[in-house]
Each structure stands twice: as C-alpha cells, then as structure tokens.
Structure 1
Amino acid sequence: MNERMIRLADQSGRCDLHTHTQASDGMQPPAENVRLAREKGLAALAITDHDTVAGIAEALEAGKQYGITVVPGVEISTRAGGKDIHVLGYYVDPQHGLFLSRLAELRATRAQRNEAIILKLRNLGIDITLEKVVAGIGRELKPDESIGRPHIADELVRLGAAADMRDAFDKYLADGAAAFVLPPRITPEEACQWIIGAGGAPVLAHPGLYGDDELVRGIVERSAFRGIEVYHSDHGPAEEARYLAMAAEYGLVVTGGSDFHGARQGVIFHGDIGSVTVSVDVLGQLKS
C-alpha cells in the first residue's frame, strides 16, 4: 500500500501537521481542531497559525483532554523570487521572548497590509471597512490574533462584491489582483533562523503552490530547513513524487498536512482535518 492509500485509510498512528485556528485565519477555536483530530482517529495534530502562537496553549490543554499529541507550531510568511513563501516551524517554544516579539512585528506588518487592501477596495467603489471585517468575525479578537485576507474575502462575499471565497481572491486579493498589496517580508532564510532560535524545526510549506521548482530548490539550498511538506491538500501525485525526490536529495524530513482552515460559505479550505497525514514517526525526526 503506497503513502497516498495509507493516508486515506487507517488513521491510527497518523498526524496532520498543518492546521489553522481562530488565532489567525481559521474558523474554529484551537480546542475544536483537537477535538476533530480525535474524532478522525488521529494520534497527533499541529497548530500552525500565521505569524502567531496564540492558539497553542488552548490546544495543548485540549490535547490532554482528548488524548491527542499537540505539536506547537507556526507558519511564517516570507518572500523570495517575487513570491510569497511560507515556512512552517514545529516544536517552537511558545514563550520564547525574542521569537514572540519578532512575530508581533510580522503581525504589525500584516495589519498595515490590511489597511492598504481596504483602501484599494474602497477606491474600487466597494463600501468596506476594517470595522466591518472585524464585526463579520462575530467575536472580539484576542491580543495576539490577527486579520487575514480570508476575513476580508468573507466581507466581500457578504457585501455582494464577490460570489464566494475563490472569486474574492481571484478578483481582488490574490497576487496581481485589483486590491493586492505586497507588504515587506523577511526571507525564508531568516524565518528558518528565527524558528531554530526558538528551539524549533523549520519546514518549507506546500512547495507545489509556488509554481517554480527552481525557486524552491534555491530556497532549500540557501536555508536551514529540517523538512519539506511533500503531502498537502493542493498537491497531486506528480507534486508528491517530485518533492519526495527533492527531500531525498537534500536529506529533508518528509512532512504533510491538510492546511485546514475550516469552512467558509460551506466550503472547506484547503482540506479537512485528517485528509492529509503522515506517520507519527515524523515527529521524532523533527525533534531529533
């Protein structure tokens, strides 16, 4: 039985190493992600919110309740070769002072980006404000939580400016779209060093989404990655085969995850919890 078949079959001894919560642009509290992991029969789950570790404490407590190993993680936004590149960090210390201050700087940049997006949308004749975006979330944001483009997309759908989440990104929010804003980003190399400094293992996220394997190869060669996300909801068999070969070539740990964000307008992005998994043996490789 090959890896793809295993991931669709028995989930015992499996882990989903890429999920998001309300701490960034996910739809559910961290504890609910953990509960769903238990429901799906997983052994472990990583919480990897964008530029924040605010959801980890709640997830760790829920892990004790549901008997799920929770991997403290993060997903850092970087820039290389003119593209947004995401770097996952596993087993980071969620109380590491310097790391927390660095993440706070990234969230401040994200907030400035959001204001610039809103301004562009208003200049396009759309009656949108950040206050409306926050109100649409339906709850007060905690101090270390942040607004992401999916939240803005939700409001665009509510206003009738887009048919659904995909339409909102295609028209306004994706790279090159009408209201796209390119904020200053750190490099993947810097993100790796930040993660290592906080005691974690850096992993290149969903390389197939960048559409440029030569860029991916250059990033890997310049950066201190421990692993590469071979298995992802948006990777097909061809991508998996290419990145398995790349992992072997560079001696990288093979990781994978659903990139679960929850459901918006009834559609789950990118995949459901447990839809993409790897063996829990990977956890030992990341920690070693």
Structure 2
Amino acid sequence: MIDLHIHTTCSDGTYTPEEVVELCKEKNIEVMAITDHDTVEGLKEGRKKAEELGITFINGIEFSTDYYGKEVHILGYFLNIEDEAFLKEIKLLGEEREKRTELMLEKLKRYGINITMEDVLEEVKGNLISRTHIAGAMYKKGYIRSRKEAFINYIGSGKGAYIPKENLSPARAVKLIKDNGGLAFVAHPKLISLGEKRTLELLDILQEVGLDGLEIYYPSFSSIDIAYYSRIAKERGLIASGGSDFHGGNRIEISIGVSNVKNDIYEAMLERLESQKNEKVRRNNEKVNKIFKK
C-alpha cells in the first residue's frame, strides 16, 4: 500500500517526520509522501529515515490556496527541494501566514477571545504557523470545548474570524509545482465548497497551467465519490492520487494507510513524471533547432 498525504509537526501534525515514517513502516506502507502545508521543512529528515527503513519516499507539499473566498488545497509531488526560486516562494508564504495569523487574532477579539501570538507559538512545533495552532491556543485557554469548534464557529472558511489567503491562488500553486518539475493534484475535491459547476470550471482552468490529477482516494470518500471523481479525471486526462491526510493527534479518527491506496497509483504518477520530462526535452530541442535554423 501507499500513502501520499501525511502531515507532520512541520505544519499541523503531531508526529515528527521521522515518527510518521516509522508509523508507515508499522503499517507496511511501501511508498509515502510527507505533504506539510506550505513547507518542505521536514522532507530531508523524512527521506533519511525512509531510506533507513526501506520505504520509497516522495518529496511533497500541500499548498493552501484561496479561490472566490473558498479554500482549495493543491498537492505537489516529486519536488526538487534544492530549487532556490521555489524555496524563496515557500519562505514568502511563511511570512504571509504570520501576518494572516495576527489578523485572525485581532478578529477573534471581537468575540471576546483574547489570545496572543505568544500563545499560538507555544502550539507550534516546527517553523510554520497554521489555524490548527490558533485552535490549540483557544482550546488551552478554555474558549472552546474542542479544537474542531474553532473551525466550525470562528476560523473555518467563511467564518467571522477567517482571513482568506488572497496571495496564493490555486493556479499559482500549480504553476509553482510545475516550474519546480513536480506533479500537481487537487486535494480532496469533494471538500471544496464551491459547488459542482464552479469546481469543474476550476479544474479546467488549472489544467491550462499544468494540473496532473485529482486526489481520488481519501478517507471520507465513499465508493460513489471515488467512481465520480475517477470519471471526472478520465474525461480530462488526469490521473489519481490518494492518501490518509494523517495529522496524528489533531485528527485522531484518521490513521496512516486508511484510504487503502494501491501501488498502481504510484506507477501511474511515475509514468506521468517521465512523460513530463520527455516533453520538456522535446521542447528544449525544438528551441535549439529554431536557433540554429536562424
């Protein structure tokens, strides 16, 4: 089995990169990807541990983007984490997250919820701040009865203290991944609250900038959902990905490998990656030939 959607303490998970790799080994996962939100911080540590344990490791990321005020998550795979231009963009996203957090904390004060940046930072294990950390601070201070309540009532998409990520669109996220040489997928498409028509329109837009596929295998997806998104993908020439969206203690109902994703998904991704490389070589050759003809 494989699991291509796993979070660590480098974003909003509760297990370190090394610990999630060890969990994958326990679950007999043969191919895995760490896909932390807007960061590649834990990939080197995760890869090193995976190599020790004989697990195939894919460099991944999950970009959190905004589209018409709704959240859309974009997964990236097979990333080059030595790409300086890509790393610069990642750093800017981290800075934007801090500004966004400060604005949400100001909005929370309107509801009588007074937590500080220092309170939030106490929840952060890595270098990246997320809304999960805000929820943790709210819970610790006794403002909510569960972390989930923070999203339902305050900081979830469209709620009173929510601030959209206006700086990062889904198309920009896909382009960042493609310029890096990776594969780009729309994460858990059923969870995008745009409505079917606008979601399909978004897929068409993203294909124009290089979208490779959809996350079709996901813990909350029924067999009907899987069949539906498989058809949508096939009609558009897209491929499938899948994973657990494991967050450790922040989502106790989800365990690694729960989506039961098979190895043929990984094989199809490798074929897509090879095709992409061949197409790049072909285009470069065309450019060279045109120069010599001149």
Partner of 1:169 in structure 2? 151
Distance 1:84 1:37 in 2: 28
Partner of 1:18: 5
1:84-131 Cα shifts (integer Å, max 9, x gaps):
111100001011111111111122111111001111123322231110
Does the alignment pair 1:240 with 2:226?
Answer: yes
Q: Secondary structure at the match of 1:161?
A: coil
Alignment of 1:96-245 (within 5 A): 96-137=83-124, 139=125, 141=126, 145-211=127-193, 212-223=195-206, 224-245=210-231
- Alignment counterpart, residue 43 of structure 2, candidates 49, 56, 68: 56
Paired with 1:102 and 1:85, the residues of 2 have a C-alpha distance of 18
Q: State the SS of the aligned residue for 1:18.
A: strand
Which secondary structure state, in structure 2, belongs to the residue aligned with residue 26 of structure 1?
coil
Q: Does structure 2 retain, via aligned residues, the 8 Å contact 1:26–1:260?
A: yes
Aligned equivalent of 2:241, options 255, 274, 279: 255
Q: Equivalent of 2:252, from 246, 250, 268?
A: 268
TM normalised by structure 1 equals: 0.88
Q: Name the residue aligned to 2:265.
A: 282
Match of 2:68 in 1: 81
Any gaps of 5 or more consecutive residues in structure 2?
Answer: 275-294
Deviation at residue 68 of structure 1 after TM alignment: 1.0
When the two chains are superposed, the root-mean-square deviation of aligned CA atoms in Å is 1.5
Is the contact between residue 17 and residue 277 of structure 1 (CA under 8 Å) also seen in structure 2? no
Q: Which has the larger radius of gyration?
A: 2
Looking at structure 1, the residues matched to 261 and 78 of structure 2 have their Cα atoms a distance apart, in angstroms, of: 17
Residue 28 of structure 1 corresponds to which residue in structure 2? 15
Tell me how far apart the structure 1 counterparts of residues 102 and 69 of structure 2 sit (CA, whole Å): 22
Q: What is the distance in 2 between the residues matched to 1:213 and 1:91?
A: 29
Q: Which residue of 1 aligns with 2:289?
A: none
Deviation at 1:244, TM superposition (A): 0.9
Aligned counterparts of 1:113 and 1:167: Cα–Cα separation in 2: 20
Question: Can you list the C-alpha shifts for 1:195-254, whole angstroms capped at 9, x where unaligned?
Answer: 011110001110000132222211221122111101112322232121011111111111
How far, CA to CA, are the matches of 2:9 and 2:2 in structure 1? 20
Query: 2:73 is paired with a residue of what secondary structure?
Result: strand
Judge conservation of contact 1:81–1:215 (CA < 8 Å) in 2.
Answer: no
Mapped partners of 1:231, 1:216: distance in 2: 18
Q: Note the residue ranges of structure 1 that are not aligned, 5 or more in a row.
A: 1-13
Provide, for residues 131-162 of structure 1, a one-character-per-residue CA deviation record: whole Å limited to 9, x for no partner. 0121234x5x4xxx211001111111111111
Deviation of 1:182 after TM superposition, in Å, equals 1.8
Q: 2: CA distance between counterparts of 1:165 and 1:237?
A: 29
Secondary structure of the 2:98 match is helix
Contact kept in structure 1, 2:66 and 2:72, CA below 8 Å? yes
The residue type paired with residue 247 of structure 1 is A
**Identity among equivalent pairs (%):** 34
Q: Which has the higher helix share?
A: 2
